[in-house]
A and B are shown apart, each in its own frame.
Chain A
Amino acid sequence: MAVFKLEDFSFTYAGETNPALHDISFSVTEGEFLLLCGLSGCGKTTLLRQLKPAIAPRGRRTGEILFNGQPLRLAPPRSQAAEIGYVMQSPEEQAVTDKVWHELAFGLENLGLESRAIRLRTAEMASFFGIQDWFERDVSSLSGGQKQLLNLAAVMAMQPKVLLLDEPTSQLDPIAAADFLAAVKKINVELGVAVMMVEQRLQEVFPLADRVAVMDRGAILIDAAPRNAGLKLMQTHHPMARALPSAMQIAGALGGDSPLPLTVREGRRWLRGFLRDGAPAREKPEQESKEEGEPAVLMKDCWFAYEKNGTDIIRDLSLRIPKQKLFCILGGNGTGKTTALRLMAGLQKPYRGKIRVSGKVAVLPQNPQTLFLKSTLAADLADMLGFAENRDAKVKEIAELTELTALLGRHPYDLSGGEQQRAALAKVLLTQPDLLLMDEPTKGLDAHFKIRFSEILRTLMRRGVSIVMVSHDIEFCAENADLCALFFNGNVAAQGRACPFFAGNSFYTTAANRISREWFAQAVTNGDVVEQCEKIQG
């Protein structure tokens, strides 16, 4: 039986004329894992919210949404609240109360359950998620990934029949995201709860999903099993194809037919079959060449701790960052990446060692919202320039570079995640920095905008800007970085040009490299693998 069934559903936001969703027909069956994907602004979230009337935006609806065979609008509020679970993007804002146990109990209190019943259900959920140790802790003492897991557990305590997830991992680092997705899969498989998930991390979610729906401009473009959906995306050269799992992209580009490989394991098997005849011997990785010339940043024997007798966050760090290059700092959480960035920005001083930075520095913080001060984007950008003469011209120029011209009249907080990131970048660029420091700039960006973003970075480097970015996004760094450094325990564990750097790592590397490392020493991106294969095929 279908949990949700939509028949020719259309929706127009109040006060607008063009529908945000049109003629949508699809269903979610019991116990199914459905992935809903599409570019930013295609209507994914709008659609997901229609399925949860308590938070559905206002507007005009036509067509019908059936929930368990009954029209959703007729379902009693109590069953809507309990049976349809909804988890949003931001781990922070979703948590309502200050204590973990209270957060778990919050929904159950709303349903009017007795104290004893609440005790049992919270205990059950805490044990299911393995979070019983946090039970008495403050929500604010949890990490982002832990908070999001708590939000999921709090919704699950209400025992929903279907779970709606709106980009729940977009604010998490890869490890926390993997934990979260594993928890979702566990709920789906072990409790049989249907899952409908909007997600950008297709690489990880595609193998988990039973079915994939791709949205484009308010309509459902593709609704198929993951392998077929991927094939269709690639055949139509849809921008979303760039976000597909590497195995799929490589096989697709080499003319593979269905069934396409989904995971690294399947990708290897597929490549082995493909290369059966002409498998080359693995060549040695290129040797490093020494960097010459005046550096943009020079760190020598730096040590840093936040508290006087606290643990050292940065230990004996020496780093040389060349000019006009994109330098990526990778590594796990708490390895000192962000702290190193703060040292370069001069926001903190090392207690030992020297830092030399040439030219003007600007920082793009992790949360772009922290930069905006004014009520329109234009005013916010103009504010950066004070009373400079050709202020408007400069704002216009920067808006063009970052493609914000159409959005200048909007409130910065009303922009989407990707747009906010661009606006923040524009603002930072108005200070005309020589060195641009960025903390996780690709967090929450879709595949399409990541390409635009890397183009902007190229333009900046041509204009003489040096860029350092801290990132968890291995794929983006492999595609775009000139140099990469792997941080571990407050120091650089490995460093080098992007290609040999990733080719030299065996675990901390791209999926494409993990698929093909047996055959190609230098293939790091999907494009590299495809190119090498084509060379062999002649």
Chain B
Amino acid sequence: MKTNDFAKLHPVILFTYFTAVILFSMFFMHPVFLAISFFCGFLWAVSLAPRETLRFTLKCILPLAVLMTVINPMINHAGLTVLLYVNDRPITLEACAYGAASAAMFSSVLLWFSCSNRIMTAEKFISLFGRAAPSFSLLLSMVMRFVPRFKAQTRAIAEAQDGLGRGVDSGSLPTRAKNGMKILSILTTWALENGVITADSMRARGYGLPGRGRFQIYRFDSRDKWMLTILSALIFAVLFGFIKGENSIRYFPFLSLPPFSPFSFFLYICYFLLCSYPMLFNAVCEVKYHGGF
């Protein structure tokens, strides 16, 4: 995929989308729903950042998933279908299934979060909260400004101390710890001192005058309106199915799935459309605006 049009949608849509998908992924333990969420999440994460996703999946998600699948039946002995006994304790089919399902849930949530981190930049979050709490959004923006400076200053101080032969890398352990503490304490002073200058700069530019306005860099256009409508329709359909109990599942004492019906089939399609929404949207945009693939 060449361009990422989904990321250009209004932050409100993005936020709604990720909140819905991540919450659904967390609570729907139905195997079909789990599979859809995992499949779409993985595919999208790969299309966003192939190398990082594969590395993240192999190094982090896979070992965790295996661990969860293996450990759950070892410690959870509920369930009626006993497969075998280990140390006189029953290993049940239900516990195995539950372990696998939790692992799938956990993995897809992680994948969705990795997508969300790439799309929902801090800037978009800030603009989002700006509506509800303007001062909070300014605070967030200032924090985002401060964090890199704080890091840089920490590095500069550590290096300056190193240049005097009292860095955190030299001397015995207690000395090093003491040097580290000193750096931490002076960082506080530095932050407070320089905060005074920032405060002056804010006051000099009229901060604190009544009736503060807000600059919206994102515009909610007609495309956003349409996309939010479609998105809401999908979310409501899935929620309706949830209320009807279509995507609930019982693992203990024995596995019980709601019966398949045309309605459940309809729900699967809705959920699939919801989860692959960004990819479908990008594909449509690719054809419409950028002249095909």
Indicate with 1 or 0, residue by residue over B201-231, a CB within 8 angstroms of chain A CB atoms. Answer: 1111111111111111100000000000000
The docked-state distance in angstroms from the alpha carbon of A109 to that of B163 is 44
**Contact stretch, chosen from B27-35, B142-150, B235-243:** B142-150
Is A347's CB under 8 angstroms from B198's CB?
Answer: no
Among candidates A78, A97, A365, A375, residue contacting B209 with C-beta atoms closer than 8 Å: A78
The docked-state distance in angstroms from the alpha carbon of A109 to that of B157 is 35
Is B205's CB under 8 angstroms from A154's CB?
Answer: yes
CB distance from B44 to the nearest CB of A (A): 24
Number of interface residues of B (CB under 8 A): 47
Is B156's CB under 8 angstroms from A367's CB?
Answer: yes
Indicate with 1 or 0, residue by residue over A103-147, a CB within 8 angstroms of chain B CB atoms. Answer: 001111111111100110010000000000000001110000000
The docked-state distance in angstroms from the alpha carbon of A380 to that of B278 is 58
Is A109's CB under 8 angstroms from B213's CB?
Answer: yes
CB distance from A429 to the nearest CB of B (A): 11
The docked-state distance in angstroms from the alpha carbon of A451 to that of B250 is 84
Is A427's CB under 8 angstroms from B141's CB?
Answer: no
A272 in the interface, Cβ–Cβ < 8 Å?
Answer: no
Residues of B within 8 A of A362 (CB): 163-165
Total A-B Cβ pairs within 8 A? 149
Is B144's CB under 8 angstroms from A86's CB?
Answer: no
A363 in the interface, Cβ–Cβ < 8 Å?
Answer: yes
Which residue on chain B has the smallest CB distance to residue A364? B163
Among candidates B153, B164, B206, residue contacting A431 with C-beta atoms closer than 8 Å: B164
A158 in the interface, Cβ–Cβ < 8 Å?
Answer: yes
B162 in the interface, Cβ–Cβ < 8 Å?
Answer: yes
Is B156's CB under 8 angstroms from A96's CB?
Answer: no
Is A106's CB under 8 angstroms from B164's CB?
Answer: no
A449 in the interface, Cβ–Cβ < 8 Å?
Answer: no
Number of interface residues of A (CB under 8 A): 60
Which residue on chain B has the smallest CB distance to residue A76? B209
Among candidates B149, B164, B215, residue contacting A428 with C-beta atoms closer than 8 Å: B164
CB distance from A417 to the nearest CB of B (A): 13
Which residue on chain B has the smallest CB distance to residue A101? B217
B200 in the interface, Cβ–Cβ < 8 Å?
Answer: yes
**Contact stretch, chosen from B49-57, B108-116, B185-193, B285-293:** B185-193
A369 in the interface, Cβ–Cβ < 8 Å?
Answer: yes
Residues of A within 8 A of B208 (CB): 110
Residues of B within 8 A of A113 (CB): 213
CB distance from A361 to the nearest CB of B (A): 8
CB distance from A82 to the nearest CB of B (A): 7
A175 in the interface, Cβ–Cβ < 8 Å?
Answer: no
Q: A110-B212, A111-B206 are in contact. Are A370 and B157 (CB under 8 A)?
A: yes
Is A110's CB under 8 angstroms from B206's CB?
Answer: yes
* A positions within 8 Å CB-CB of B: 52, 54-55, 77-78, 81-82, 86, 88, 90, 92-99, 101-102, 105-115, 118-119, 122, 138-140, 151, 154-155, 158, 345, 347, 361-363, 365, 367, 369-373, 375, 384, 413, 427-428, 431, 437
A-B pairs with beta carbons under 8 Å apart, 16 shown: A81-B205, A88-B200, A96-B201, A98-B123, A98-B144, A110-B207, A110-B212, A110-B213, A111-B213, A112-B209, A112-B211, A138-B148, A139-B145, A371-B164, A373-B186, A375-B189
* B positions within 8 Å CB-CB of A: 122-123, 138, 141-142, 144-145, 148-149, 153, 156-157, 159-165, 182-183, 185-186, 189-190, 193-194, 197-198, 200-217
